[in-house]
A = this chain, B = another copy of it.
Amino acid sequence: MKPELHVFKIGGGIIDNEPDLQEFIRLFAEISGPKILVHGGGKGASEMMKHLGIAPQMVNGRRITDAATLELVTMFYAGKTNKHIVVALQSYGVNALGVSGADGNVIQAVKRPVREIDYGFVGDLSEASVNTDLIHQFLTLGLTPVFCPINHDGHGQLLNTNADTIAASVAKALSKQYAVALHFCFEKRGVLTDVNDDASIIASITLADYASLKESGIIADGMLPKLENAFDALQFGVEKVIIEHALHINDQLKTTVCLN
């Protein structure tokens, strides 16, 4: 039987709220066994860019990563946010190891090809992107890798990658050796039929459920890509995907996504 591995992803909503972030870290520290944390960016980088007079460029709600933006998000995500999380985990006795994809070549990305939009220094991932051997070695050494959303192309270029994508790619790649539970943490208790009512949580969603919930419009907007990601991960061998509140990861109230 494969050993269990928990891969958690947290995003801007938690990172931007310091008490929430500290509470998440405290709860994450209590998770036993091998675990990995992937964190996104948050608003801090954009705020600092404003201070420095660098205008953030967005197209269709996505950040265009030009050279100045890349330099700043690298500082912010790989420097500030990553070390902030690592040092807090260490204070709870979790031997966290903060990494970008460049560190130990743990993730190698490919710069997104320019089609209609030039996203700039954005890195796309494939299954082969993840250095599963080294991550396995880190886990064996009792380390808890903490990934920031900065990767590299192996030819000297850093690249910015969406943290959901990193979490899913790492989970998929490690599912050959581990029974992986992939946790997408956000500010709701899970997938809700009524977005304003935490009690309307759906405890479990299969691919068939998803099709009908999407059809009926009960699940919409930002939840759609999250669930698409979830099913994609399951199809590539991840055991289960959990969508849950970052401040209630130790609680039973959450949505578990499974193929059937």
Interface on A for B, CB 8 Å cutoff?
A: 48, 51-52, 71, 74-80, 82-84, 86-88, 90-91, 95-100, 102-105, 134, 137, 141, 143, 150, 152, 154-158
Contact = CB atoms under 8 A, between A and B. Distances in A.
A104 B152 CA distance: 21
Contacts of A96: 102-104
B79 A154 contact: no
Given A52-B51, A137-B141, A102 B78 contact: no
Given A74-B80, A76-B79, A83-B78, A154 B104 contact: no
Q: How many copies does the complex hold?
A: 2
A140 to B, nearest CB: 10
B80 A102 contact: no
8 contacts: A75-B76, A75-B79, A79-B82, A83-B102, A87-B156, A87-B158, A90-B105, A98-B102
A83 B74 contact: yes
A100 B98 contact: yes
Contacts of A84: 158
A206 to B, nearest CB: 39
Contact of A75 (B75, B98, B105, B155): B75
Given A80-B79, A104-B97, A156 B52 contact: no
Contact of A104 (B76, B87, B143, B150): B143
Contacts of A88: 156
